[in-house]
Amino acid sequence: MNRKLILSTLMLIAFSYGFSQTKEELQAQKAEKQAAANALQSEADAIQAQINALPGWRTGAFGTIGGSLSKFNKWYGQGTPNISSGNIGFTVNAFANLIEDKFFWRNSLNTNLNWVKLDNEDDSTDSDSFKSTTDVFNLTSLYGRKLSDKWAVSGLLEYRTTILNNFNDPGYLDLGVGFTWTPITDLVVVIHPANYNFVFSSGDTVFNSSLGAKIVADYTRQIGAVNFKTNLSAFQSYEDSNLSNWTWINSFGYTLWKGIGVGFDFGLRSNRQEAANFQETTLEDADNDLQSYYTFGLSYKF
């Protein structure tokens, strides 16, 4: 009996030792493979950097999609037993940049659209259609002739409006010339002391066009599975500070699987003309509160 117990114990010890050795060997093999993979990835990143530095077109896009739908029928536990609701929204950030040895042409698009529905089917006055809520459309085109690796003489066209409601009412078109500074690969800073801010609107409104200076800073970067874009666009009127405005838009996307991930967008804006128009008052009396929006949902990298 004792012999069997001793033999079983020895076999168990030997088995455990053998398993431990095998696990350590597998971990060592994994470390070797991971080191090799990291080295290959570094080489691939270096080659991609060389490709990015070559003249030619660079294009890309990523966006956020969010939505939900629900319908209750005779659900008496709530105050409105027959109700349907929904929320659908998406953002798109796209760019198409032509980079050559002596000039560049950078184009970008940012749009954020959202619709909401809340229909009480027992109330005949309730609408059963989706209504637009978030409505943002920004389009820019920047052309520059290079003076050096970091500086260029440039011209900018930027157009901002809403497209679901009140298209081009108001609408903003900036046209200007000046200089563009690119201190690093993904950062573009536009400094245009000669810029005219055209403001389009219908009827008798507080909106006015004016001459001023335009400053734009844009940083767009992809780091592994993360896509990131931040854009600040500011106009300083020479004629009246009340005609100045700025907009700051930020977009984040994190890819989890086959281009699908999570995304977050938020924007800030200061525009006294819009505030005065909404409040139906003068520019001087308008309460120019900070405007903001955000969107969170699934993202997709195109």
What residue spans define the domains of the chain?
1-54, 56-301
User: In the predicted model, what is the mean pLDDT of the chain?
Assistant: 86
pLDDT number for residue 217: 97
Please tell me the distance from the alpha carbon of residue 84 to that of residue 75, in angstroms, as a whole number. 11
Please tell me the distance from the alpha carbon of residue 285 to that of residue 237, in angstroms, as a whole number. 18
CATH topology of domain 56-301: Outer membrane phospholipase (ompla); Chain C (2.40.230)
Enclosing H/E stretch for 28: helix 2-53
Please tell me the distance from the alpha carbon of residue 97 to that of residue 180, in angstroms, as a whole number. 15
Please tell me the distance from the alpha carbon of residue 213 to that of residue 218, in angstroms, as a whole number. 17
pLDDT number for residue 302: 63
Q: What is the pLDDT of residues 130-166, one digit of tens each?
A: 888 888 899 999 999 999 999 999 999 999 999 988 8
What six digits make up the tokens of 134?
A: 């978030």
pLDDT number for residue 187: 94
The 3-state secondary structure of 37-92 reads: HHHHHHHHHHHHHHHHHCCEEEEEEEEEEEEEEEEECCCCCCCCCCEEEEEEEEEE
pLDDT number for residue 224: 83
| pLDDT for 16 beyond 60 | no
Confidence (pTM): 0.76
What six digits make up the tokens of 178?
A: 């000046």
Q: What is the pLDDT of residues 263-294, one digit of tens each?
A: 888 899 999 999 999 999 999 999 999 999 88
Mean pLDDT of 75-94: 83
